[in-house]
């Protein structure tokens, strides 16, 4: 693929984010950075250096809805905006959707036995959405579809890190535009998110994420153009490492469950120094390991009153 990498700064811990300009029958950009002034400047500079203007971009294609990837959809007035249909909720931010989302998190944090005060803090943070874009999608994509204007480039649905996550696999070159599915330096987090059908069922993010990584490993990929950091070429090896690390952490959680515990209690035990400042993230991670152990039938989950209690089998 004729591909130009554009690196943009973000205000988040993971550092810079990558967008990829791809010239096929159409001129497309995959991911567009957070809606900050600094990211806009980097984006504009990158596109100019490649010999184009922002108005020349015909398609903005998003790997997922997180703000570090989807913010500057607003900068391309003439482009089609293409992504998983779930992304559209984050662009439109209707009162109805924001309320649903808040109800979803509230319901699950009660099950996890998160104290009221912490819960309010997390809900407040989740309301801050200024780095998200605000242009609705003009086209949605399905699993297995060919990307318009790019013959041989196939979108594959790979949920886990985000419920909207796609990778784009080029059948001839075996290159992948990978979003946050597999990063060189950091393992990306399987965040707890509302499901695509906007019900109150909680997707098992880590279980999904592992399946998506295994799918990628089986694709026989030459290069992954990752959402953060360098390109990845040792895909199978890196996936293997990520899976091993997860099972190590899951074993630690199993040890913690010598006594039955709630998700909040497991989180405190697993992340004693950071859980207070990064509660949303650490809850998602602990929940993920618990879901893995339930799937492996090593532990069970029972609803006692309004809390879910996990215990060894």
Q: State the Cα torsion 119-124-126-129 to the nearest 10°.
A: 180
CB of 226 to Zn ion, least distance (A): 9
Part of the chain binding Zn ion (CB under 5 A), chosen from 65-73, 108-116, 143-151, 217-225: 65-73
Q: Tell me the site size for Zn ion, rule CB under 5 A.
A: 3
Q: What gap in Å lies between CA 190 and CA 159, rounded to an integer?
A: 9
What is the DSSP pairing of strand 59-61 with strand 27-30?
parallel
**Is 46 in contact with 40 (CB distance < 8 Å)?**
no
Burial level of 110, CB count in 10 A (0-12/13-18/19+)? middle
What is the DSSP pairing of strand 223-226 with strand 175-179?
parallel
CB of 190 to Zn ion, least distance (A): 13
Query: What residues between 69 and 128 interact with Zn ion by CB under 5 A?
Result: none
Part of the chain binding Zn ion (CB under 5 A), chosen from 30-38, 61-69, 91-99, 133-141: 61-69
Part of the chain binding Zn ion (CB under 5 A), chosen from 53-61, 115-123, 226-234, 260-268: 226-234
- Our CB check for Zn ion shows the closer of 194 and 227 to be 227
- Our CB check for Zn ion shows the closer of 180 and 246 to be 180
Contacts (Cβ under 8 Å, ≥6 apart) of 259: none
Following DSSP, what letter does each residue of 215-243 receive, concatenated?
HHHHT--SEEEESSSS-B--HHHHHHHHH
Part of the chain binding Zn ion (CB under 5 A), chosen from 86-94, 191-199, 220-228, 298-306: 220-228
- Select the residue interacting with Zn ion from 88, 180, 246, 291 (CB under 5 A): 180
- Our CB check for Zn ion shows the closer of 111 and 285 to be 285
Q: What gap in Å lies between CA 296 and CA 136, rounded to an integer?
A: 40
SS3 label, residue 30: strand
246 binds Zn ion (CB under 5 A): no
Among 141, 227, 233, 223, smallest CA distance to 179 is for 227
The residue written with tokens 């998602």 in the block is 284
Part of the chain binding Zn ion (CB under 5 A), chosen from 25-33, 94-102, 124-132, 178-186: 178-186
- Our CB check for Zn ion shows the closer of 29 and 257 to be 29
CB of 260 to Zn ion, least distance (A): 35
Contacts (Cβ under 8 Å, ≥6 apart) of 103: 200
- Our CB check for Zn ion shows the closer of 148 and 227 to be 227
CB of 313 to Zn ion, least distance (A): 36
Q: CB 103: neighbour CB atoms within 10 A?
A: 12
- Select the residue interacting with Zn ion from 31, 68, 175, 265 (CB under 5 A): 68
- Our CB check for Zn ion shows the closer of 175 and 180 to be 180
CB of 82 to Zn ion, least distance (A): 18
Write out the residues near Zn ion by the rule CB under 5 A: 68, 180, 227
């Amino acid at each position: 693929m004729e591909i130009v990498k554009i690196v943009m700064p973000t205000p988040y811990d993971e550092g810079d984010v990558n967008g990829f300009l791809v010239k096929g029958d159409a001129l497309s950009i995959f991911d567009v950075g957070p809606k900050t002034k600094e990211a806009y400047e980097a984006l504009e500079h990158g596109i100019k250096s490649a010999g184009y203007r922002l108005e020349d971009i015909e398609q903005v294609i998003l790997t997922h809805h997180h703000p570090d990837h989807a913010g500057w959809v607003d900068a391309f007035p003439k482009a089609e905006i293409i992504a998983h249909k779930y992304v559209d909720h984050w662009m439109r931010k209707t009162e109805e959707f924001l309320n649903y989302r808040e109800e979803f998190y509230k319901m699950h944090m009660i099950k996890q036995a998160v104290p009221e005060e912490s819960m309010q803090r997390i809900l407040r943070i989740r309301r801050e959405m200024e780095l998200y874009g605000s242009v609705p999608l003009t086209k949605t994509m399905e699993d297995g579809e060919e990307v318009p204007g790019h013959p041989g480039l196939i979108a594959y649905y790979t949920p886990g890190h985000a419920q909207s996550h796609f990778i784009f696999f080029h059948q001839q070159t075996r290159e992948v535009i990978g979003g946050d599915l597999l990063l060189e330096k950091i393992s990306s987090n399987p965040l707890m998110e509302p499901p695509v059908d906007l019900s109150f069922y909680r997707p098992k993010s880590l279980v999904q994420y592992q399946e998506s990584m295994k799918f990628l490993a089986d694709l026989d990929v030459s290069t992954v153009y990752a959402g953060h950091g360098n390109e990845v070429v040792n895909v199978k090896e890196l996936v293997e490492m990520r899976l091993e690390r997860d099972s190590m952490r899951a074993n630690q959680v199993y040890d913690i469950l010598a006594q039955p515990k709630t998700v909040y209690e497991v989180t405190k035990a697993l992340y004693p120094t950071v859980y207070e400042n990064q509660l949303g993230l650490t809850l998602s991670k602990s929940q993920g390991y618990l879901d893995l152990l339930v799937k492996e039938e090593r532990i069970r989950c029972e609803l006692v009153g309004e809390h879910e209690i996990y215990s060894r089998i």
